[in-house]
Amino acid sequence: MKHRTTVITLANQKGGSGKTTSCHALGAGLTRRGYKVLFVDLDAQANLSYTSGIGRTALSSMEVLTGTAKAEEAIQTTPAGDIIPASSVLAEANSIITDTGREYRLKEALEPIKVNYDFILLDTSPARSILTVNSFTASDKLVIPAEANAYSVQGIGGLSETIIAVKKYCNPNLVVSGVLLTRYNPRAVLTRDFTSFAEQVAASLDTRVYKTKIRENISLKEAQALQTDIFSYAPKSNGAIDYNAFVDEFLQERK
């Protein structure tokens, strides 16, 4: 049976949407289920790298994108999964990566190592850039975390132009897997209204809102501060319960 690697981008053009938290939790949850996982941090803020316990390194995703290092050379190992960490130089990617075919840099760099992983998770910056285009071009699926408020849900719509362009010119097989609502309060009337709004926006992207909602939970921030995953830090917390349910829901798509 041919090995199948699923490459997933987590993206939203609105900061504070729970994108990095969701990326780390999804990867950690998959690792705990026995899958081989690689994270690629493409955000100059390097929050995913920090949460993974990775400090400043000589080789990062920027070196991989510019071709000065192979992907396998930049990989570091963490309890939640392997990671290619970020660099602050990623903020200058638009002016550094300018040659023909630049949209395919990441896809080409990951190809030799895909056989080693079941899932590769890409964490992107909220800013629309060549890094976003590279991640969408390299991906099979796109997961859109969105905080249950108007600004974050609007950030979903902001992705549509990039998604349409990438599907037309670079990756016609890209699938928008779904919208994951974070910081969810089921008792708030406004939250329920935003859920309905999110469903409308998701429908415009030919996708859905995941049944699983991630409730507001301080343990998620505490786990990040301690540079560990939510399942190790607080396995009985709402954050761990909700993200475990999301991992299970996500895996249903792969069967």
Classified as helix, coil or strand, 50 is helix
What size, in residues, is the chain?
A: 255
- Is 24 domain-assigned? yes
- What number is the average pLDDT over the span 168-186? 92
Q: In what order do the strands lie in the sheet with 175-182?
A: 76-78, 81-84, 37-41, 119-123, 6-10, 141-147, 175-182
Per-residue pLDDT band at 90 (split at 50, 70, 90):
very high
Q: Is the model more confident about 128 or about 151?
A: 128
- Is 28 domain-assigned? yes
pLDDT one-digit tens code per residue, 94-123 = 999 988 899 999 999 999 999 999 999 999
Per-residue pLDDT band at 188 (split at 50, 70, 90):
confident
Q: What's the pLDDT at 194?
A: 79
pLDDT exceeds 60 at position 1: no
Per-residue pLDDT band at 79 (split at 50, 70, 90):
very high
What is the rounded distance in angstroms from the CA atom of residue 27 to the CA atom of residue 7?
Answer: 12
- Is 255 domain-assigned? no
pLDDT exceeds 90 at position 225: yes
- What number is the average pLDDT over the span 151-177? 86
Burial class (CB in 10 A: 0-12, 13-18, 19+), 50: middle
**213's tokens:** 């909602």
- What number is the average pLDDT over the span 135-161? 83
Q: What's the pLDDT at 78?
A: 95
- Is 254 domain-assigned? no
- Is 15 domain-assigned? yes
pLDDT one-digit tens code per residue, 11-49 = 987 666 789 999 999 999 999 999 999 999 999 999 999
What is the rounded distance in angstroms from the CA atom of residue 71 to the CA atom of residue 106?
Answer: 9
Structural domain for 69, as ranges? 6-249
Where are the alpha helices (H) located in 45-188, listed in sequence order? Answer: 47-51, 61-66, 71-74, 93-96, 105-110, 130-138, 150-169
What CATH number does the domain containing 200 carry?
Answer: 3.40.50.300
What is the rounded distance in angstroms from the CA atom of residue 80 to the CA atom of residue 224?
Answer: 12
Structurally, how many domains does the chain consist of? Answer: 1
- Is 94 domain-assigned? yes
- Does residue 182 contact residue 146 with C-beta atoms inside 8 Å? yes
What is the sign of the dihedral through the CA atoms of 110, 66, 63 and 133? negative
- What number is the average pLDDT over the span 139-159? 80
- Is 243 domain-assigned? yes
Q: Which is it for strands 76-78 and 81-84: parallel, antiparallel or unpaired? A: antiparallel
Classified as helix, coil or strand, 160 is helix
State the Cα angle at 149 between 48 and 222, rounded to 5°: 35
Q: What's the pLDDT at 202?
A: 87
pLDDT exceeds 70 at position 232: yes
- Is 118 domain-assigned? yes
Chain mean pLDDT for the chain: 91
pLDDT exceeds 70 at position 153: no
Which residues, at least 6 apart from 166, have a Cβ–Cβ distance to it below 8 Å?
A: 103, 133, 136, 137, 174
